[in-house]
Amino acid sequence: MDCNGSSLEEKDLLPDELAESFTHFVLTFYYRMQEHPVNLCGIKLSSHAFHVLYILKEDPRGQVPMTELVTRIRRTKQQLSKLTSDLEDDGLVARVRMKENRRAVYVTLTDKGNEFVRQATASMVGAMTQFLKSLPEEKRTVIEDVTNQLTVLINEEV
């Protein structure tokens, strides 16, 4: 209840309050997902490493320039280079140099990397399914509606 006797669920948030609340939700969700590191086939990945793999999996080009990955994962070139080397050592990615410009380095998923991302994603979906099953139907319906609306909004931005 707020000071006017209204429940917080009934109260409309002002844009700044909504932004703060939504940001808190996203960060909390992100950090809770990090509490469960991806660990499949004896390979344990940090969230940054999985982020790189997921970017590579979702990119329609099939390969992403290292310079773009630096920007997208917000790490230094040195950090990304180390991360990429570790992923290469695990057989999940390969670096590709372009014939036209030998200085341009691209990163691509290997077959093993593709399978790893598929399995890791399936594992995350399984964990989320268990969480959602624990909720009452009315709460799942709300989550479904909000997820659908957010998906539409995000796709409009792209």
Domain residue extents for the chain: 41-129
Note the pTM of the prediction, 2 decimals: 0.69
Q: Within a 10 A sphere around the Cβ of 70, how many other Cβ atoms?
A: 16
The per-residue pLDDT for range 79-129, each reduced to its tens digit, is: 888 999 999 999 999 999 877 777 788 999 999 999 988 888 888 788 788
Q: Which residues contact 113 (CB under 8 A, 6 or more apart)?
A: 53, 56, 57, 87, 91, 92, 93
Mean pLDDT in the chain?
81
> What is 41-129's CATH number, 3.90.25.10, 1.10.1060.10, 3.50.50.60, 1.10.10.10?
1.10.10.10
